[in-house]
Each structure stands twice: as C-alpha cells, then as structure tokens.
Structure 1
Amino acid sequence: MLFSNARKGKDYINKNVFNLSDFRYLPRWIILFIDICIIALSIVVSHLLILGLDVRHYHVYPLVLVFLSIIGINVFFMYLFRTYLGVIRHSTFIDLFKIIFANFGTAITLGVLNYAYYFLFGKKIILIPFIGFYFAFSCLFLFVFRLLVKTFFNAIKENKRSAVRKKIYILGDDDTSVAIAQAILSNPNLPFDILGFISYHNKKVSIKLLGKNIVTKSDFIHHLKDEDHDISGVLIIKETLQKEELDFWVNIFLENNLKIYKAPSMQKLRSNEMINHIKTIQIEDLLNRRPIKLDNLEIKKRHFQKTILVTGGAGSIGKEIVRQVALLEPLQIVILDQSETPLYDTELEMRETYPHINFKFVLADISNLSRLEPIFARYNFSMVYHAAAYKHVPLVEENPHEGVLVNVLGTKNLALLSSKYGVNRFVMVSTDKAVNPTNVMGASKRVAELFVQSLQNLEGNSTKFITTRFGNVLGSNGSVIPHFRKQIAKGGPVTITHPDIVRYFMTIAEACELVLNAGTMGKGGEIYVFDMGEPVKILDLAKRMIKLSGFEPDIDIKIIYTGLRPGEKLYEELLSDDAKTLPTSHEKIMISKDPSMAFEEIDELTELVIDYSKKEEKQEIVRILKSIVKEFKSNNSIYESLDK
C-alpha cells in the first residue's frame, strides 16, 4: 500500500501538471502590470490597516487621487530601477534589492512631497504611518510574488526531472547509508531519485530517514513481485557487506532486473565529481575479497630509495607492480618490455601520474642476453620483479619454441644476471598452470620455477630467489572477463570452452600486493601460493555478467560451447600432488614445498630445450619439457602421443 499510493500520486502529478517549465518568458509589460496590481493591493491593505487603527486620513485631496499619485510615483521608480526586467522564475537577491530601492525611493519622495506641501500650505497630504505601512507591504508582496513563482517553477522542474531520474533504494539504514543518501540528495546533478532505505532486518519501523521510508527486507522482496513497481535500481555500499550477503542481495536484484549501483567512498562522495563515482556494479566487485595486508613498513623499507627493475612492465601485472612500487618512494624504476606501443603508453601514464619518480623505459627482449647485461651493469638493482612471460595457452601450444625462449631462456638470463650483479632479491611471477601442467605454457613456467629455485643454494650466490604462484587475474590483458565484456557489448554470443570449466580468480591489485609481500618476507628459494578462495564456474560467471549488463542469458545473449582448447584443462591447481605447504606469518599466504632440482641438472636440461627451440623442433622441445616436468601430461593436444 505504501509503495502504490506514492506511485499513484506521482503518476497523477506527471499526467495532470501542464509543462509550464517550457513556457517562454512573459512580456515585460505584463510583469509591470502585475507589479502595479500588487502595489495597488498594498495601498488597499495599508488603507484598511489605518482604518482598523481608528486613524483618519487627511482630506486635502480625494484619496483615490492620492493613491493613484502614489502608484504613479512607484511606477516611475520601478522604471528607474528596472524591477520588471528580471525573469521572475530566476529571481535573485539582486532583484529583491531593486524592489527595496524602488519602494524606498517612493517612500522618500512621498515624505519629501508631504513635508514640502506642509511648509508651503500648512497641511499634510499623506499620513506618515501610511507611507511606512505601504513601503513594508509593497516590498513584502512583490518579494513574495517572485518567491512563489520561483518556487512553483522549481517544483515543476523538479517534478519533470524526477520523472527521468532513476528511482532507487539504498540498501541499509545505518549511518553510512544515511550519509550517502544526504550526499545524493544535496547534489541536483545526480540522476537519482531516492525512494527509501531497505532494512537488513524484518522488523517494521514507522520512522523515516531524511523524509524517506524504511522498508523491511521481506516487504521489499514482496513488492518486487508487483509487475508495475517503479523501482529501477538499488545502491549498495559494498564495503559494509559480507560476501555471502552481497551474493544474496545481488541475486535478488538481478532476478528482478534491477540495476545495481555501487556507492563510492565517503571521500569521493564529497567531491564535485561524485556523479562519476556512482557506477553500476561490475563482476570484479562480486569476485573481489578483502585485500591482504602485511607489514607495509617493511615493504617500504625494502624499496625506499632503491633501484627497481620490472620486466614485462607494460603488461597488466607488471604495470600494477610499477604503480605500487612508485608509492614506496624508490630511487628509480626501470621498466622493461619488448612490446613497443604498450611500453610507450605505460611511459605516458607513469610520467603523468608519478611525475616525482625517476623512470627509465627500456625496450628489450629478455631472451637476448647481450641486450640485458649492459642494463644490469649500468644500474645497481636492489629488486627485480620478473613479470615478463608468454601466457596464452593456445598460442604457446602452437609455438612451443617461442614459449621456451621467453619463459625459460628469458627467466634464465634474468636470474643469472641478478645473481652475477648481486641483486638483493629476484621475485618471479608464476602461474597456477605450472602445477600438474597440461600445456606447454604451464610446463615452461614450471621449468622456469625449477631453474630459479636451483640458483638459491649455488655457491657464491647472494641473491634471494622467490617465486609467487597464483591463478587468473581479473581484468588482465586477454583474460576471460574483458573477453566476455566485448562479446556482450556486441550482442553475443558469449563463448565458453566447456560448461564445467572452473578457475580461481583474484584482482590485479591483490596479485601485485602478493608479489610485493613475497619479495619482502621471502628468505630465498620459496614458492609462495595464495589462498584463492573457492574456484568460480566460468558458466556462472558468464551468466552473471550478462545479467549485470541488463540482458537475459540464452534469451538476449546466447551462450555457446566451443570445446576445450589445446592444452586446456577443466580445473586449475595451486599445489602439485606431492607438494606440502608450510604456513607463513599470514594465514592467507603459504609456502609450497614442491620437488626441486640441482642446478647442474636443470641447467643442462634447459640448455638442451633452448637449443631445440632455436631450431624450432616442436616435438623435441615438448619431449624434453616432459622429461624435466614429470607431471606434464598433454590434454587435447597434438603432443598427447608423447605421453604414451
């Protein structure tokens, strides 16, 4: 009843109020005529007040003639101060002052004429109290008239604007929800009309917040069943919700085709650009977890006034590492990548965002040792973050030689140079696809892991070699979410390789935070793995993304299955079968105790696979990879015959 009465009232106003806000401005003579009528009314009211006080007017001249003279004098001053030229609906204090000056001039003139006549003829024409009453009433009535017109047109405009605004509820009735509602209501540029607040509880309350109703969870859900409800969306404060609560509410909103808006932080709410900070919720918001925080002071100490190298610095992970390192006040950041255009774009972004940081941008291929060594010789690197890699499974499966040259030879070059030039810490970014690999890409990364680990205990080495291993990164270049987003924008279809395929996900910022933390806490030789939470079914991910975009899966946007790609598996793993984990100082970060290899053995095998890669002998390359990584079993690939 509460919802329907409010809706009927608004519908009545929208249908029956003529669109006066579209009127052109009235001619100035009409405004002047209305003002004359108002001052005539002021004379009548002043006259009646004088009579009520049992005071008698002077009768030197007929009262009608006196009153007409007052009007004439007032019209003269109105013309002098141009009180009738302003657009009434846009009246300001300047217009009020013009009215006061015009009427004050009239009162002064009447007073001067009155006393001049008295000195000349010994009689007064007008009562001085009458002049005072007239001045007060004429100013008041003229001002109130303009105020009423202004208010009326503002109400019409607000009603018209309300008709096109998105009618939303705010999820929650706590202090944060009220503060966000106040910020929205005080900003006329925001395209939202707040209908009320949704309580997390089912206990009904009769109070209102900011004049808006509070509805219970059950009442709101019940109201959504009405086909004619006028709710277009809900604003949520993601930080106040547990993941289970967020999933519960998002499912309800999506099932009822409501837009879901995400409230910004209170700091952004106070900014003039708040309209740019209230956005529809994205799939990344639903998959995101609480950020991991460790000893930030220790991390800063490790990077403060140090020279840092980031390979693959123009990629998704590498660029985010650069952003986070830039906040730690390093002496210099050297960003190395072989992709020219992304590196140039990265340079433009970093120099604009962090103008106080000393950047050096190097275009180089990590498989080219002669190109890398002068760089290590020139800069005294304290930390090397190795994020450069070929990562796309189907492409590397087709080109195993290229995968080995970058992922194995490139890593080998960087690791050996780090040890040779006394780099304090070498942090390698690896992948969950290196665990029980079913493709060349994962196997090449596992070989790189083995080589990096083998250097730790090599005689004369002082560098701490650390590996981080995690799953898919939300929004990274070539990842599934941007791919789905493009397909949905084109109207579909959304392509999935298999209905049962699942993946672990984490955000780019989260992944890079892990890399920095690992680089700080590592003692050398560790492979750090991250508690990725529960794996996500890609089919469910696609359906949610389609619904968040305002479409129905398999109705508006088709979902089709293309079959597993070469080397792809249904389930990713973070730990190998015979690996054990050790806890660290943080419950979400563990050390994987994978089997390792002696330096002499892995060095000889990597040299062999690199030689075959230079000759582009694909079968031999994969055969050697399988001899190094015993658990490498090809899946849906031309190399499956090598496993027999």
Structure 2
Amino acid sequence: MKLVLLRFLKGRIVSPWLILAIDLALVINAFVLAYAVRLNVSLVNYPASNLIQNIIWVGGIYLMVFLLFGSFKGVIRHSNYNEFKQVLITTFIAFLFLITFSFVVRLTGINWVDISSLVLVFHFVTTVVLMVGFRIMVKEAYAYLTKKRTYTNVYIYGAGDMGQITLEAIKNDKDNEFNVVGLIDDTASRLGVKLHSYPVLSWDKAVETGDSRQVKVVILAIKNISVQRKHKITEACIERGWKLKIMPSVDSWVNGISNDKQIRDIRIEDILGRDEIQLNLGRIMEGLDGKVILVTGAAGSIGSEIVRQLLRFSVQKIIMLDIAESALYDLQQELLLSHSDAPFEVVLADITNKKRIADVFDRYKPQIVFNAAAYKHVPLMETYPYEAIRVNIGGTKNLADLAIQYNAEKFVMISTDKAVNPTNVMGTSKRICEIYIQSLSQLNNLNTAFVTTRFGNVLGSNGSVVPLFKKQIEQGGPITVTHKDITRYFMTIPEACQLVLEAGFMGVGGEIFVFDMGEPVKIVNLAKEMIRLSGLKVDEDIKIVYTGLRPGEKLYEELLASKENTLPTHHEKIMIGKVRQHEFRLIEQKIKDLLFALQIENDTLLVSRMKDLVPEYISQNSQFAELDHHIEHTVS
C-alpha cells in the first residue's frame, strides 16, 4: 500500500488534469452539502432535475475559472501558502460571479437558475475547506511516507524572522537530517509561547530539557547578531557538547533562496570577526557610479571579494584580471550564477608583461584600479626573491605607470602589515611598492590619486592558517604551529575589502591607510578554538605540535613602524599612517636598477639592493641575515 501511494505521489507529479477532476468533484460535493445544510439535510422533496441543473451551472463556472487561473497546475505535494492563497482567490472569483449572476436573475425575473445566496456562501466556504484540506492531506501524506527514520534533534536559536525562515526551510525538505524540537530566544515576550506548535524556550530552559529531548545540534538563526554574543553562544554549546550550526543572513543565500542546505557549521571567522562595518555608502557610490574598474589579482581571496563588493554599486564595467586560469574561471562561473546581468569581463593576463597590460588599459580605459595581485607566501618568497621582485615590485610598477599614462582617476594598492619593519623578502617587496606608489604623488600635473591600504591577515584567505588547520583537523591532526607565542592580527575578508573601498574613496593621493585590526590573536589559541568547534578535544583527539619559526617569519606583526604615527579619519577603523617621504626620482631609479638586475644578479645581490631601498629591513631566521651582519661590520 505504501509503495502504491509513493508511486502515486512521486514522479512529475500527478497529472494536473487528475487534480482538476478532483477539484471539480470537491466543488460538486460541496454544492450538494451546501444544499443539504440549507434544506436541513432533507433533499428528498427537492426536484432532482433542479439540483442537477444547478450542479452543472455551478460546476461549469468553477471549471472555467480553474482553467483560466490554472489553480490545478501546482505540485500538490509541495503546496504552500501561495498555492493556498491561489485556491482562495480562484474560488472567491467563481463565487463572486455566481452571486452577482443570481442577483441579476432575481432583478430581471428570469426563472432560469435559482440558487439562494445562502447556499452560494455555504458552498464557497465548504469548497475552500475541501480543496485546501485535500492539498494539506497530500502534502502531509507525502512528508510522512518519505520522512527519514534517522534524524538529529535540534534547537533553533532565534524565534524571529530568521528563525521562522530556518524552520520553514527544514520542514520543506523531506531529505533534511534535522528534527526541530523547540526554539530558543532571548526576548522575554516570546518565552513560554508556541510558534508553529514548537515551544519557545530560554537558554536555561533549553539546557534543562535538552538531554531529555536528545538534542545534538543548535542552529543559530538570528539576524544582525553581534560577534560577542555569537562567541558566547558558541562557548555555551561547546560546554554542553552540542554542535553549533548557523543559517546565514539573507544576502548570503545561494541564488537568494532559503533552504536547509544553506545551514552550515559555524566557522572561526564567525566568532573572530567583528560587528558589521558602517560604510560611507554615499561617498563610495559617488566614486564608483558609472566607472570602469580594473581589479588585478581578481581570482584571489581579496580580489574576488572586492569584485563581489563592487557588484553592489552601479558601476559601468568591472575588469577581472588574473593569471590564475582555473581560479579566474571559477569566479566567472560563480558570478554568472549569482549576478548573470552584472557588467563584468574576465581577462587572463600577467601584470609583469607590460605590453599585455598596456593593451588592457588601451582597450578598457579603466578609471579606477584596485591592485590585489601579488605573491604573498613568506617562506616561498624567501626561497625565491627573484619572483617577489619580478611580480610584486615589477608588476605594481607596470600598473601604476600605466594608470598615469591612461589618466586613471584612482589607484588603490593592497599592502600588508608585513611591510612594517620587514624581516622577510615578501614584506620588503610590498614596502618597496608602498614607497613607489606614495612617491608618485609628488609628480606635477598628476591626474591619478594613488592610495595604499595596509592590513594584517585575513581569515580564511587562500594559504592562510585557517584552511590549513581545517585540513589538518579533517585528516585527524596534528595541527602544526610554528611557535607557542606567535601572534597575528586577523580580519575577515569582507571586512578588509569593505575598508579598502572606504579608504580608497576618502584618499586624495599619497596616503597609506592603516586599518584597526583589533587585538592580536595567538595562533595556538586559534588552533585550539578550531579543534573545539569541530567537536573534538585538544591533545586528546587532535594534538598540536610546534615546528619552529619559518624563514623570514616574525613572532609579532606590526601595523606601523616605531617611528611612524597616525592621523584619524572620519572612519574609526581607518587611520592615515605618517611615514617617511621618499624623493620620486631617486626611488624610481633604484627600482629600475633592481628590476634590471633581475637579469644579471643572484639572489643575494638582489636582496642586498632591497635592503638598500628599505634600511629597516632586517632578515630574521633567513639565509640573508648574513647581509645584515656585513652591514653592521661595515658601519662599525
């Protein structure tokens, strides 16, 4: 019997013509029932011919309305509020026609169809009840027959709009793994009531009853929740042994659709980030309106998020340039799905090839350039300084020079905290880029405003510790940390890119904007938190081992050099770094000499030139530390 019902309910679906026939049968039965009620359940003395005539008339009108509005074409097993509303509207239109026609008949005295208004009212109400009841019965029968017999009991944390959306998303998916047993809320007025038949509990009450309800998971579904509150909820769930998941906010839904597949595990970014940044949208909109924008390194973590942020504004075109073919293709496919009508183009090109980049500038005439293209891995660049100079310095110089040549309005360079008192080749290469970009602002009759933004590590970016630790946890450990005392500043990718946009349009040229990165985070504490978020125990399930500092790596990062200070801006999280000015002609010549030396000098000589350009560059745990000893010996 169950298999027969499943075969009936599955597949495309039951034929819409069968649904139409069932709806029409319900209309006829409702009409007979309405007449029976009107005649005190006595149809014996009522002429059968009159009843049949009235049934044909009423049934014909409802049939025409059903065909006109297509109320029978929905998927019955997936009926929802909108389909129930369509049934109500359709039947009401038929009722309105019939009652109007009956009124006209009585006024004209034509004795053709005589149906009392009370019968029509009873019939309308009964029809709605039967048709909606039929759909609910099919929907519930399908849900029961296909429901998984194994599921996880969950609480939804949040009884507001997001909580109800999450509840609906879970209920609508027959394959979901969750069985909601209650909702948790912090608002006193919501406690003790039932929402969609589920109790709304305080946290203390949920903890008290959680074991008896065999709760394993809590789904966080609160709009605009603070990071601090999120962190407290996370800690409380870990303490109870409950796994915490999260329903993302509306703007993060895939294709703008809510479903239980959107529910994800809470991430370290969710509890280490900070509350939403308030941007000066007016200034940014004015700066971006109708502009052609070039984003280099567009397929990377920062570049791709800058592109996503830019798509919020009315730009003319976004040129996404990168040399990473696969990553650029993936970004293109993502945007075609989520922003199919967005004005973007992809360009596969190498920023070190000046002829190729000049062609890009000549074709698109970009008015704003965001340069996020760079090599960033410290140990690799320590091994291959040639590439750090060629790409980071040479590529940036190409872009900046072409921005001037083609009269770009704004050039925003993405730098790093590793450029401050650098101890490695990568950080020094970015500091040289900063120096060159800032010195360009000294040129006369310059139409391009050059701005640099400097910030620390971004959570979850390609190659950062978060993806590494996650992979190590999935493999059963151990997690590798270079030093027990190593700390880093962290910021989420969206937060960093929002501040880049804000700083880019508050700068007039020559500034190095420094972001407030909050408090530094000990990497070992980050590792421990990620282990606990995975539902595992530190040193029992996953061990942490210390591998020693890598070449060029610092224990502590800085955002400003010791001789620098800052000036405030209108945004509390953005400051202007007051750094030493460099004479453009001298810097330009030294950088030209450095780039020319790539063809003829070895790594040691190249790094020696970098140390000449950036005297504060002192190598740490590196093969190039000998150059510093040589300098000290020469000075003494």
Q: Identify the TM-score tier after normalising by the shorter chain.
A: 0.7 to 0.9
Deviates more, 1:620-629 or 1:178-187: 178-187
Q: Pick closer, same or farther for the CA change 1:375–1:206 going to 2, 3 Å.
A: closer
Tell me the equivalent position of 2:95. Answer: none
1:250 aligns with 2:222: no
1:171 aligns with 2:145: no
1:639 aligns with 2:624: yes
The two structures have a TM-score, normalised by structure 1, of 0.72
Tell me the equivalent position of 2:292. Answer: 307
User: In 2, Cα distance between the equivalents of 1:269 and 1:621?
Assistant: 48
2:389·2:429 contact (CA, 8 Å) conserved in 1?
Answer: yes
1:452 aligns with 2:437: yes
- Out of 458, 463, 466, the position equivalent to 2:448 is 463
Deviates more, 1:498-507 or 1:154-163: 154-163
Tell me the equivalent position of 1:349. Answer: 334
Deviations 1:147-170 (A, max 9, x none): 9xx99x979986995963322223
Q: Give the partner amino acid of 1:488.
A: I
Q: Pick closer, same or farther for the CA change 1:569–1:239 going to 2, 3 Å.
A: farther
User: In 2, Cα distance between the equivalents of 1:101 and 1:218?
Assistant: 54
User: In 1, Cα distance between the equivalents of 2:328 and 2:429?
Assistant: 25
User: In 2, Cα distance between the equivalents of 1:206 and 1:335?
Assistant: 53
Deviation at 1:204, TM superposition (A): 13
Matches within 5 A, 1:47-62: none
Matches within 5 A, 1:192-207: 192-198=178-184, 200=186
Q: Give the partner amino acid of 1:243.
A: V
Deviation at 1:273, TM superposition (A): 4.4
- Out of 232, 241, 253, the position equivalent to 2:216 is 232
User: In 2, Cα distance between the equivalents of 1:441 and 1:571?
Assistant: 16
1:331 aligns with 2:352: no
- Out of 576, 585, 600, the position equivalent to 1:615 is 600
2:166·2:259 contact (CA, 8 Å) conserved in 1?
Answer: no
2:419·2:430 contact (CA, 8 Å) conserved in 1?
Answer: yes
Deviation at 1:345, TM superposition (A): 3.1
Tell me, what secondary structure is at the counterpart of 2:499? helix
- Out of 482, 491, 499, the position equivalent to 1:514 is 499
1:525 aligns with 2:510: yes
Tell me, what secondary structure is at the counterpart of 1:343? helix
User: In 2, Cα distance between the equivalents of 1:554 and 1:159?
Assistant: 45
User: In 1, Cα distance between the equivalents of 2:4 and 2:339?
Assistant: 52
Q: Pick closer, same or farther for the CA change 1:616–1:260 going to 2, 3 Å.
A: farther
User: In 1, Cα distance between the equivalents of 2:602 and 2:203?
Assistant: 64
Tell me, what secondary structure is at the counterpart of 1:362? strand
Deviation at 1:390, TM superposition (A): 0.6
Tell me, what secondary structure is at the counterpart of 2:244? strand
Q: Pick closer, same or farther for the CA change 1:479–1:154 going to 2, 3 Å.
A: same
User: In 2, Cα distance between the equivalents of 1:329 and 1:552?
Assistant: 48
Tell me the equivalent position of 1:363. Answer: 348
The two structures have a TM-score, normalised by structure 2, of 0.72
Q: Pick closer, same or farther for the CA change 1:287–1:238 going to 2, 3 Å.
A: farther
Deviations 1:367-425 (A, max 9, x none): 22233223323332211111111101111000001101111111111111211221111
User: In 1, Cα distance between the equivalents of 2:479 and 2:552?
Assistant: 21
2:246·2:264 contact (CA, 8 Å) conserved in 1?
Answer: yes
Deviation at 1:492, TM superposition (A): 2.1
Matches within 5 A, 1:128-527: 164-172=150-158, 175-176=160-161, 179-180=164-165, 183=168, 187=172, 189=174, 190-198=176-184, 200=186, 210-221=196-207, 230-265=214-249, 273-527=258-512
1:202·1:218 contact (CA, 8 Å) conserved in 2?
Answer: no
Q: Give the partner amino acid of 2:585.
A: E
Q: Pick closer, same or farther for the CA change 1:319–1:612 going to 2, 3 Å.
A: same
1:400·1:613 contact (CA, 8 Å) conserved in 2?
Answer: no
Deviations 1:527-572 (A, max 9, x none): 1111111222222222222222222222222222221111111211
Deviation at 1:218, TM superposition (A): 4.2
1:311·1:337 contact (CA, 8 Å) conserved in 2?
Answer: yes
1:178·1:209 contact (CA, 8 Å) conserved in 2?
Answer: no
Q: Give the partner amino acid of 1:415.
A: A
Q: Pick closer, same or farther for the CA change 1:176–1:346 going to 2, 3 Å.
A: closer
Matches within 5 A, 1:26-65: none
1:180·1:266 contact (CA, 8 Å) conserved in 2?
Answer: no
Q: Please give the root-mean-square deviation of Cα atoms over the aligned residues, in Å.
A: 3.9
Deviation at 1:327, TM superposition (A): 3.3
2:238·2:532 contact (CA, 8 Å) conserved in 1?
Answer: yes
Where structure 2 has 5 or more consecutive residues not aligned to the other structure, the ranges are 6-21, 36-41, 48-132, 630-636
User: In 1, Cα distance between the equivalents of 2:163 and 2:323?
Assistant: 51
Q: Give the partner amino acid of 2:620.
A: N
Q: Pick closer, same or farther for the CA change 1:279–1:94 going to 2, 3 Å.
A: farther
User: In 2, Cα distance between the equivalents of 1:23 and 1:379?
Assistant: 62
User: In 2, Cα distance between the equivalents of 1:176 and 1:100?
Assistant: 37
Matches within 5 A, 1:532-547: 532-547=517-532
Q: Pick closer, same or farther for the CA change 1:367–1:24 going to 2, 3 Å.
A: closer
User: In 2, Cα distance between the equivalents of 1:349 and 1:265?
Assistant: 19
User: In 2, Cα distance between the equivalents of 1:496 and 1:177?
Assistant: 38
Deviates more, 1:486-495 or 1:234-243: 234-243
2:255·2:338 contact (CA, 8 Å) conserved in 1?
Answer: no
User: In 2, Cα distance between the equivalents of 1:357 and 1:188?
Assistant: 31
Deviates more, 1:333-342 or 1:176-185: 176-185
Q: Give the partner amino acid of 2:218.
A: V
Q: Pick closer, same or farther for the CA change 1:158–1:599 going to 2, 3 Å.
A: same
Q: Give the partner amino acid of 2:403.
A: S
Tell me, what secondary structure is at the counterpart of 2:298? coil
Tell me, what secondary structure is at the counterpart of 1:614? coil
Q: Pick closer, same or farther for the CA change 1:413–1:162 going to 2, 3 Å.
A: closer
Q: Pick closer, same or farther for the CA change 1:601–1:284 going to 2, 3 Å.
A: same
Deviation at 1:452, TM superposition (A): 0.5
1:573 aligns with 2:558: yes
User: In 2, Cα distance between the equivalents of 1:207 and 1:306?
Assistant: 53
Q: Pick closer, same or farther for the CA change 1:378–1:216 going to 2, 3 Å.
A: closer
Q: Give the partner amino acid of 1:171.
A: Y
Tell me, what secondary structure is at the counterpart of 1:361? strand
Matches within 5 A, 1:564-603: 564-603=549-588
Deviates more, 1:360-369 or 1:187-196: 187-196
Deviations 1:217-253 (A, max 9, x none): 44555667x6x77121112235454333322221121
Tell me the equivalent position of 1:123. Answer: none
Tell me, what secondary structure is at the counterpart of 1:460? coil
1:204·1:216 contact (CA, 8 Å) conserved in 2?
Answer: no
2:156·2:167 contact (CA, 8 Å) conserved in 1?
Answer: no
Q: Pick closer, same or farther for the CA change 1:96–1:275 going to 2, 3 Å.
A: same
Deviations 1:488-536 (A, max 9, x none): 2222222221222222222222222222222211110011111111222
User: In 2, Cα distance between the equivalents of 1:295 and 1:340?
Assistant: 34
Aligned length: 524
Tell me the equivalent position of 2:58. Answer: none
